[in-house]
Amino acid sequence: MSKRLYLIFFLTFILTGTLFASEIALVSNYSKVAKGDILEVKLRISDLDSVQSLSMDLEYTGDITFYDWDQNTSGIQGKLLNESYTTTWNASSNTMNITFNFNQARDITLDYPVSVLFSVPDNTTSSSLSFKLKNFIKNQNITSITTNTLNVAIDNEGVVDLSSEPSTIYSISGLKFEISENTFNDTRELSVKETDLNTEGYSQFVPQGDSSSSPLNVYYKITVNGNIKTQRFMNVYFPFDSSQVPAGYSPEDIKIYYFNETTLKWERIGGKVESIGGNSYFVKASFNHFSLFTLLADKYEFPGNTIEKIEVLPNPFSPNGNGKNDVVSIKFNLKNKSTVTLGIYDRVGREIRRIVTDKEYNSGDNVIEWDGTSDIGSIVTTGLYLFNFKVKDESGRNDKKTGTIIVSKNMKE
């Protein structure tokens, strides 16, 4: 047999092995987690063919404990494709066993169908965590399974080092931060402290509430060393549960407020409420400053202009595909829940991109992004562009606002 034929056989063997190998990847939203926080480890299953029974151990190193919302540390039952799977924690061997048992063989290709929560102790001495799947016991139809090792760094309690990493989600003191690349120009430490107004010296500025609002009496001091404003907006998720919602209000009424150090007043940011299972919720908002934050339930309806406080970051932006400042964020504050139309225009008034048309947004701060493309999908040229908001709230009040966005593909970055 010629050498060429051997080579073909060899390549075919490699290719066949690659095609039929199943993959279960370990994934986490967080590349760093602070002490005292919860870490979610997820399983992303690719091409797991004809699986009927499958058992594996999620082995971890580092000082953590299994956690679930119901405080049940013995294991949880879950649903996968309407059939059950079981997780069982074995603290002595630092493993979490995960077992699928299906009524019949089935193919699975799913992102994150299974996730396991771990709690990082406040007093842990570990500086990192490591997770790996092993000890696969599988039915004979599955030839092989490839997997990865997941590493997560641990930072100090309530503090995360924002080194120059790509877009990342951080969990700090129960708050979730979505921070894009280039949000900070340099390395910063972001810290979150659950606090009270007496500690902060603001005892005379307690939000009192009124006939349309009621405070939840939780306060978070979010700071970054240098006390700067970020180059991009961060998405910040504040947790609460239904027991904290004042009587007469629903979870959807919970809004984020921040303390304006200049005016010495609590100012409304707003926010969008998302359920995260059970009685637990996040209220999410986008901002680029650091301060003292609190939650209030409010049912305010504001008269007058419906859109204000428009901010554009970064401006200029550079949609040149180099991964830096490729997208511009347009933040706007709605007095009331409204439908929004946003168009991008060139300098002579041609509409080159309709970003949203009559889309409904909640009151408070909202963010819309533009990637620099026109309606036909091509990247626009360097120059000065306009954005134009048309807003109509539920009472029929109309408002319009126009501003400028600079595109510079040759920006120094």
Q: In the numeric block, which tokens belong to residue 335?
A: 């007095």
Looking at the DSSP bridge assignments, the partners of residue 152 are 129
Cβ closest to other proteins, residue 201 vs residue 349: 349
Decide: is 186 part of the binding site for other proteins (CB under 8 A): no
CA distances from 156 to 120, 201, 229, 340, 360 (A): 11, 25, 23, 42, 40
Q: Which of 59, 77, 58, 75 is nearest to 67 (CA)?
A: 75
Decide: is 406 part of the binding site for other proteins (CB under 8 A): yes
Q: In the numeric block, which tokens belong to residue 363?
A: 């009151």
Q: How many whole angstroms separate alpha carbon 123 and alpha carbon 35? A: 7
Whether 278 and 235 have beta carbons less than 8 Å apart is answered as: no
Q: How many whole angstroms separate alpha carbon 289 and alpha carbon 274? A: 22
Decide: is 349 part of the binding site for other proteins (CB under 8 A): yes
Decide: is 371 part of the binding site for other proteins (CB under 8 A): no
Helix (H, G, I), strand (E, B) or coil at 18: helix
Q: Which DSSP letter does residue 358 get? A: E
Decide: is 340 part of the binding site for other proteins (CB under 8 A): no
From the list 18-26, 96-104, 120-128, 373-381, the region that binds other proteins by CB under 8 A is 373-381
From 347, 360, 369, 394, residue interacting with other proteins (rule: CB under 8 A)? 347
Q: How many whole angstroms separate alpha carbon 22 and alpha carbon 259? A: 52
Decide: is 345 part of the binding site for other proteins (CB under 8 A): yes
Q: How many whole angstroms separate alpha carbon 35 and alpha carbon 118? A: 12
Decide: is 339 part of the binding site for other proteins (CB under 8 A): no
From the list 115-123, 186-194, 268-276, 370-378, the region that binds other proteins by CB under 8 A is 370-378
Decide: is 229 part of the binding site for other proteins (CB under 8 A): no
Minimum CB separation of residue 382 from other proteins in Å reads: 4
Decide: is 378 part of the binding site for other proteins (CB under 8 A): yes
From 194, 261, 274, 351, residue interacting with other proteins (rule: CB under 8 A)? 351
From 12, 93, 203, 381, residue interacting with other proteins (rule: CB under 8 A)? 381
Q: How many whole angstroms separate alpha carbon 246 and alpha carbon 232? A: 33
Decide: is 382 part of the binding site for other proteins (CB under 8 A): yes
One-letter amino acid at 175 equals L
Decide: is 357 part of the binding site for other proteins (CB under 8 A): no
Measured between alpha carbons, how far apart are the two ends of the chain, in Å? 57
From 25, 374, 392, 397, residue interacting with other proteins (rule: CB under 8 A)? 374
Q: How many CA atoms lie within 13 A of 347 on its CB side?
A: 7
Q: Which of 250, 199, 180, 193 is nearest to 222 (CA)?
A: 193
From 21, 25, 218, 352, residue interacting with other proteins (rule: CB under 8 A)? 352
Decide: is 350 part of the binding site for other proteins (CB under 8 A): yes
Q: How many CA atoms lie within 13 A of 6 on its CB side?
A: 3
Cβ closest to other proteins, residue 248 vs residue 349: 349
Cβ closest to other proteins, residue 266 vs residue 385: 385
For CA atoms 77, 81, 82, 83, the dihedral sign is: negative
The answer, yes or no, to whether the previous bond of 319 is cis (omega within 30 of 0) is no
Minimum CB separation of residue 19 from other proteins in Å reads: 39
From 77, 123, 204, 412, residue interacting with other proteins (rule: CB under 8 A)? 412
From 193, 337, 390, 397, residue interacting with other proteins (rule: CB under 8 A)? 390
Q: In the numeric block, which tokens belong to residue 385?
A: 């562009």
| Residues in contact with other proteins, shown as a per-residue x/- string from 297 to 326 under the rule CB under 8 A | ------------------xx----------
Decide: is 384 part of the binding site for other proteins (CB under 8 A): yes
Q: How many whole angstroms separate alpha carbon 231 and alpha carbon 238? A: 21
Decide: is 411 part of the binding site for other proteins (CB under 8 A): yes
Minimum CB separation of residue 317 from other proteins in Å reads: 10
Cβ closest to other proteins, residue 224 vs residue 406: 406
In which residue are the tokens 């919860």 written? 38
From the list 49-57, 116-124, 240-248, 400-408, the region that binds other proteins by CB under 8 A is 400-408
In the complex, the residues that contact other proteins under the rule CB under 8 A are 315-316, 343, 345-352, 374, 376, 378-386, 388, 390, 400, 402-404, 406-413
